[in-house]
Amino acid sequence: MRLAKIFTCLLLFCCLSKSTHRSGILPQEAYIWQKLWVPSVQNAIQQSNFLLKGWRFLAGEREPDGRIIYPSIPFDDLQSMGKMLTAVYRFDRIQPLPNVQEIRELVTRSPVYQKGIRNIELDLDWPTQKLAAYVYLLKQLRSCLPQETYLTITVLPDWLRSTEFPNLTQKVDDLILQVHAVDDPREGLFNDHKALHYIDRMSRISRKPFYIALPTYGLKVGMERNGRLNFVEGENNLWLGKTVGQELFTDPYQITKFLNHLETDIPMNLKGLVWFRLPIAEDRRNWSISTWLTVLQRRKLYTQIKIENRVDPQDTGLFDLFAVNQGNIDARLPLKVELKCAIGDGFPPYQLSIGNNGHYFLESIKNPPFLPVGAKRRIGWMRCLSQ
């Protein structure tokens, strides 16, 4: 009898384990965060649409100065992609916390709402200590929106420690846990260990379905002497002219390693990933579209920067030096490039240097930038007198 009970307990444990986790590639969506839908936005959508379950696009935003912005969205073109669409409404964190009337007006006056979009996501960086007020606001908002509205909110990891968080989850249909942020510039934009911890806590606190938002982007941050953030410069370049700062980038290798771990042991209520944000050609603080597609497809990553010496057809002793990215993800330019000749110079960020062994090389005077997949960049020149 005792053995039978032990066997039953073990069987029950195995069943419970299998019922709470799974494995496989998670469904993927992406944020379209551009306010101007230039041709490169539509090109990027077309290139990646086949890999995604849905699109979440910025439909309305209250900016720091209080202005309301509604991006000009070619809605018919987006709808023709045949994917689930979610309209995202954002209130800038600099502003005072909005009331239910302000949120309702931002949503219902948007062109896409008037076209019938009822999948709505709110992006509000609400203070943790005031989460009870957010719970009450969402309850009010529900009562003044159509019954068919499917409501999602962005969740900050710090909210998970609040006793009000379980109540918050009951007021919405879906949650998107944001696991990227600048908590400490020394840790970068993404910490895989912290992200896994947040996901585990989220799945334990609530059985509500949720997504996680993963980064593709970069930022420049400036710090004060006391260690506090002075400025954050992102895709909008709000602090143009700030030359001193630390550039932070999302590492594709780190993200891929994180996904390999997560997708072997997925909580049952984790519905998928949402990538922030859609890469386009003009976005200098983001992955290239090629890098993103490689990660989306879980292909093996490799970097290969090749240095090419191209002889000048008018002067066989003169060479132009080019760096070419022959890998499948964006890669940093090398810190040093050896020269075969004693005369030469570099183009920014490179300068000519000489080592202790008397060999000449080009050395980057700052952290070298990324070179997109397939891109070529002229980095310097050299002249060989023996030619």
The DSSP bridge pattern shows strands 119-124 and 336-338 to be: unpaired
Dist. CA 113–CA 241, nearest whole Å = 38
In a domain, 27, yes or no: yes
In a domain, 9, yes or no: no
- The reported pTM is 0.89
- Based on the domain organization, do 219 and 318 belong to the same domain? no
pLDDT category at 6 given cuts 50, 70, 90 is very low
In a domain, 15, yes or no: no
pLDDT category at 216 given cuts 50, 70, 90 is very high
Higher pLDDT: 5 or 226? It is 226
| Per-residue pLDDT at 143 exceeds 60 | yes
- Based on the domain organization, do 77 and 212 belong to the same domain? yes
| C-alpha separations of 296 from 27, 216, 219, 329 in Å | 10, 11, 22, 12
Number of neighbouring beta carbons within 10 Å of residue 215: 23
Q: pLDDT at position 331, please?
A: 96
- Based on the domain organization, do 319 and 265 belong to the same domain? no
100: buried, middle or exposed (CB in 10 Å: 19+, 13-18, 0-12)?
middle
Token pair for 360: 């000449």
In a domain, 10, yes or no: no
Helix, strand, coil percentages for the chain (3-state, nearest 5): 30, 30, 40
Q: At 51, give phi and psi (nearest 5°).
A: -95, -5
Last residue of a domain, one of 262, 296, 330: 296
In a domain, 239, yes or no: yes
pLDDT category at 15 given cuts 50, 70, 90 is very low
The DSSP bridge pattern shows strands 210-215 and 150-155 to be: unpaired
At a CB cut-off of 8 Å and minimum separation 6, what does 41 contact?
32, 34, 278, 280
| Per-residue pLDDT at 12 exceeds 60 | no
Q: Which DSSP symbol is given to 365?
A: S
pLDDT digit string, tens, across residues 310-354: 999 989 899 999 999 999 999 999 999 999 998 999 999 999 999
- Based on the domain organization, do 220 and 341 belong to the same domain? no
Count the alpha carbons within 13 Å of 39 in the hemisphere toward its beta carbon.
0
Q: At 83, give phi and psi (nearest 5°).
A: -115, 165
- Based on the domain organization, do 195 and 312 belong to the same domain? no
Dist. CA 381–CA 385, nearest whole Å = 13
Q: Which domain holds residue 147?
A: 23-296
Number of domains in the chain: 2
- Based on the domain organization, do 124 and 266 belong to the same domain? yes
Given a contact cutoff of 8 angstroms between Cβ atoms, the answer to whether 277 and 217 are in contact is: yes
pLDDT category at 358 given cuts 50, 70, 90 is confident
Q: Which has the closest alpha carbon to 217: 177, 262, 261, 181? A: 181
- Based on the domain organization, do 164 and 276 belong to the same domain? yes
**Residues paired with residue 309 on neighbouring β-strands, in sequence order:** 321
Identify the CATH number of the domain in which residue 66 sits.
3.20.20.80
In a domain, 97, yes or no: yes
In a domain, 8, yes or no: no
SS3 label, residue 24: coil
Q: Which has the closest alpha carbon to 172: 153, 199, 154, 144? A: 153
Q: pLDDT at position 231, please?
A: 65
- Based on the domain organization, do 309 and 292 belong to the same domain? no
Angle (CA) 377-307-220 rounded to 5° is 45
| Per-residue pLDDT at 1 exceeds 60 | no
Last residue of a domain, one of 277, 296, 315: 296
- Based on the domain organization, do 272 and 355 belong to the same domain? no
In a domain, 4, yes or no: no
Dist. CA 99–CA 130, nearest whole Å = 13
Given a contact cutoff of 8 angstroms between Cβ atoms, the answer to whether 330 and 287 are in contact is: yes
pLDDT digit string, tens, across residues 163-207: 999 999 999 999 999 999 766 666 789 999 999 999 999 999 998
At a CB cut-off of 8 Å and minimum separation 6, what does 267 contact?
20, 21, 199, 200, 202, 203
**Residues paired with residue 311 on neighbouring β-strands, in sequence order:** 319
- Based on the domain organization, do 106 and 218 belong to the same domain? yes
Q: Which has the closest alpha carbon to 110: 152, 148, 145, 134? A: 145
Residue the block writes with tokens 């689930």: 84
Q: What is the mean pLDDT of residues 125-140?
A: 96
Hey, what amino acid is at 206?
Answer: S
Dist. CA 200–CA 206, nearest whole Å = 10
Token pair for 310: 């191209």
pLDDT category at 233 given cuts 50, 70, 90 is confident
Percent of the chain clearing pLDDT 90 (strictly above): 75
Q: What is the mean pLDDT of residues 88-108?
A: 91
- Based on the domain organization, do 234 and 96 belong to the same domain? yes
Q: pLDDT at position 18, please?
A: 46
**Residues paired with residue 362 on neighbouring β-strands, in sequence order:** 337, 352
CA 231, 234, 239, 240 torsion: positive or negative?
Answer: positive
Q: What is the mean pLDDT of residues 233-243?
A: 58
Last residue of a domain, one of 278, 296, 314: 296
| Per-residue pLDDT at 107 exceeds 60 | yes
- Based on the domain organization, do 334 and 256 belong to the same domain? no
Q: Which has the closest alpha carbon to 115: 153, 73, 172, 83? A: 73
Q: Which helix (H) or strand (E) holds 304?
A: none
Angle (CA) 160-163-168 rounded to 5° is 70
